[in-house]
A and B are shown apart, each in its own frame.
Chain A
Amino acid sequence: MNAIQIAFLSGLLLVLGAVAVFSGTVLRSAARGGRGLTLGLAGRRPEHGELGRGAFLAHRLTGFAIFAFLCLHILDVALSSVSSRLYDDVQHVYGTAPLRLLECGLLFAILFHTGNGLRLLAVDGFRTSATRSRQLLRLVIVVVSVLGVAGSALILAPLV
Chain B
Amino acid sequence: MSAPAAWELTPTAVVDQDLPSRAFAYVALRVTGLVLSVLVLGHFAVTHFVTDVARDNSAFVARRLSSTIWIVWDSTMLAAALAHGAFGIRLAIADYSTEARARRFWERVVMAVVVVLFVLGLIVIARAANA
Q: Chain A: residues with CB nearer than 8 A to chain B?
A: 22, 25-26, 29-30, 33, 52-53, 56-57, 60, 63-64, 66-67, 70-71, 74-75, 77-78, 80-81, 84, 87-88, 91-92, 94-95, 99-100, 103, 107, 110-111, 114, 117-118, 120-121, 124, 151, 154-155, 158
Q: B53 to A30, Cβ gap below 8 A?
A: no
The secondary structure that dominates the A interface is helix
How many of chain B's residues have a CB under 8 angstroms from any CB in A?
A: 41
- Decide if B53 touches A117 in the complex (CB within 8 Å): no
A108 to B65, CA, bound (A): 27
* CB atoms of B40 and A151 under 8 A apart: no
Interface Cβ pair total, 8 Å cutoff: 115
Q: Which of A74, A80, A95, A118 interacts with B78 by CB under 8 Å?
A: A74
Name the B residues within 8 Å of A25 (CB-CB): 96
Question: What 6 A-B pairs have minimum CB-CB distances, sorted nearest first?
Answer: A95-B54, A84-B58, A67-B85, A33-B5, A56-B7, A81-B124
| Bound CA span A25–B124, Å | 34
Q: Are B92 and A78 in contact (CB under 8 A)?
A: no
